[in-house]
Amino acid sequence: INLDNYSIVNYSYYNDDKRTPYYNINSILITEDETIVMGTSNGLYYYNEENDSFKRILENKNILTSQDIIDIKEDSENNIWIATDTGINKVDKNNKRIYKYESNKENSSSGYKINSLMCDNGGNLWISTYENGIKKLNIKTNKIITYKFDENNEFSIPSNGVRDMIQDKYGT
């Protein structure tokens, strides 16, 4: 969307130049440095403004926990967090490293179907899951706390199925 002239460009796989990914787009992130990154059911793409096209990145099958990208977020330290169908990945842009948090590892950050991610102002990555509550990963210590529904606790979350989360103006 061009806000100067209110025009909209529709990117479709059916364009003759095939500038867009063919796969389902699950998440779009505009990073702090204004790079547009898309997570699809078959990998990550970034938008190249110079030639108005999308380029596949990190496409080696072993780089990420999976190429089925569910969500993408950027934290306050400019790390990119990528949720896949089998775990979470941290792209440390400063050190040019990728860390995997695979679902089959002990003390894993996922282990369940992930619905979404949220980075809060306190240095935590919140992970909402399909049926296993919410996980809070402290980005600095890698400590994980799990929040689940407990019928005996009136202060527990109301359901173990959490679709999405947002941070309110108080940072909670």
Q: What is the pTM assigned to this prediction?
A: 0.83
Main-chain dihedrals φ then ψ at residue 53, nearest 5 degrees: -145, 170
pLDDT at 172: 65
Q: pLDDT tens for residues 56-67? A: 888 888 899 999
What burial letters (b/e) apply to 138-164, b meaning 16+ CB within 10 Å?
ebeeeebeeeeeeeeeeeeeeebebee
Please answer whether residues 75 and 119 qualify as being in contact, where contact means their C-beta atoms are separated by less than 8 angstroms: yes
pLDDT at 166: 87
pLDDT at 10: 73
Q: Which residue has the tokens 């909402």?
A: 128
pLDDT at 22: 61
pLDDT at 14: 47
Q: List per-residue pLDDT tens for the chain, 172 residues long.
A: 777 888 887 766 544 545 555 678 899 999 999 999 999 998 999 988 888 888 888 888 889 999 999 999 999 999 999 999 889 999 998 888 999 986 655 444 445 789 999 999 999 999 999 889 999 999 989 899 999 999 999 999 999 999 999 888 887 6
